[in-house]
Amino acid sequence: MKALIDKLASENILTRDELVMFIENRDPDLDSYLFERAVAVRRRIYGNDIYIRGLIEFTNYCKNDCLYCGIRRSNKSAARYRLTDEDILTCCKTGYELGFRTFVLQGGDDAYYNDERICAMIRAIKTWYPDCALTLSIGEKSYESCRAYFNAGADRYLLRHETADDIHYKKLHPDEMLLSARKQCLYDLKAIGFQVGCGFMVGSPFQTAVHLAEDLLFIKDFEPEMVGIGPFIPHHDTPFAREPAGTLEMTLFMLALIRLLLPGVLLPSTTALGTIDPAGRELGILAGANVIMPNLSPPEVREKYLLYDNKSCQGEEAAEGLEDLKKTMEEIGCEIVIDRGDYIDGS
């Protein structure tokens, strides 16, 4: 196993069989060795710098019905909200003053925000904050829509592929959603010129070691600038309410593998990781992550953007908790920087 870690660290790739074997037989005693190797790569490329992104959850209306997600359209108990342009610009102002130089607009797939509205929003944010990067995370869109967002000034796009296995994808999504369509959107985004992020949940229902290996190989092949992963956490009003959550250990293991597969990738230590363990965010950084995305949504809507139960939005998870987050990062030898935090090619 140790030899596999060394091979991965020096060649940045393993075969499918090696990955499956490594995941199936994960040896907790080797975790600290694996994490050290991953952190060494992060440090070589990014030094001690940790980038922050201000996450603005601007709508929880969604036309999709993903079985794992708390804001799926079938969840009639969800209290729905939309932010106005003015609300969103106020979030950016607060964020800019706190030191954020990247804003992430995330939402359900909400038809109210048609291309015209999204493009107007992008232009407004880029006019007021030209030195900031703008990331969209608004689901699958057509090539033309993505092109319009890019032309309006959006820089980056996050669209988790969720799982790289067709059959597994079908078990997590309703019939009308297709992995091929999601992947096509990722390829379109890349062709258009976005910095692109994909990713998956760790421990989602029906997931096997083979699926995880396929996820890693897909990511390696796709070469995204960013990868978002976090543990699956059940939401009480979804069909997966009684499914077990993904674990801290497996998520940290995956973060480290991704750092070694794609040395320069921007890798967030996500809210879901901070939700399943109070020290999750720090541990993610200590396994190779280099990005944190505090919540910059208006406090009164935060608990409505409930993708999963107990979703953390207080303390260091919140943009206002940035001072505490800075201290926590300093304690583990890292530093939060005021920077757009663009991708650095680590090869």
Residues in contact with ligand SAH by the rule CB under 6 A: 68-69, 106, 108-109, 137-139, 159-160, 162, 201, 230, 232-233, 235, 272, 307-308
Rank residues 41 and 273 by Cβ distance to ligand SAH and give the closer one: 273
Are the beta carbons of 147 and 190 closer than 8 angstroms? no
Are the beta carbons of 101 and 341 closer than 8 angstroms? yes
Rank residues 32 and 114 by Cβ distance to ligand SAH and give the closer one: 114
Rank residues 100 and 308 by Cβ distance to ligand SAH and give the closer one: 308
Residue 162 C-beta: closest distance to ligand SAH, Å: 6
Rank residues 109 and 339 by Cβ distance to ligand SAH and give the closer one: 109
Cα–Cα distance measured from residue 262 to residue 216, given in angstroms and rounded to the nearest whole number: 10
Residue 36 C-beta: closest distance to ligand SAH, Å: 28
Residue 52 C-beta: closest distance to ligand SAH, Å: 18
Cα–Cα distance measured from residue 32 to residue 184, given in angstroms and rounded to the nearest whole number: 37
Rank residues 137 and 295 by Cβ distance to ligand SAH and give the closer one: 137
Rank residues 61 and 96 by Cβ distance to ligand SAH and give the closer one: 61
Are the beta carbons of 69 and 60 closer than 8 angstroms? no
Residue 42 C-beta: closest distance to ligand SAH, Å: 23
Residue 71 C-beta: closest distance to ligand SAH, Å: 8
Rank residues 246 and 263 by Cβ distance to ligand SAH and give the closer one: 246
Residue 84 C-beta: closest distance to ligand SAH, Å: 19
Are the beta carbons of 258 and 267 closer than 8 angstroms? yes
Rank residues 22 and 308 by Cβ distance to ligand SAH and give the closer one: 308
Residue 33 C-beta: closest distance to ligand SAH, Å: 28
Rank residues 37 and 302 by Cβ distance to ligand SAH and give the closer one: 302
Residue 316 C-beta: closest distance to ligand SAH, Å: 19
Residue 173 C-beta: closest distance to ligand SAH, Å: 10
Q: Which residues pair with 292 in a beta bridge?
A: 52
Cα–Cα distance measured from residue 112 to residue 83, given in angstroms and rounded to the nearest whole number: 11
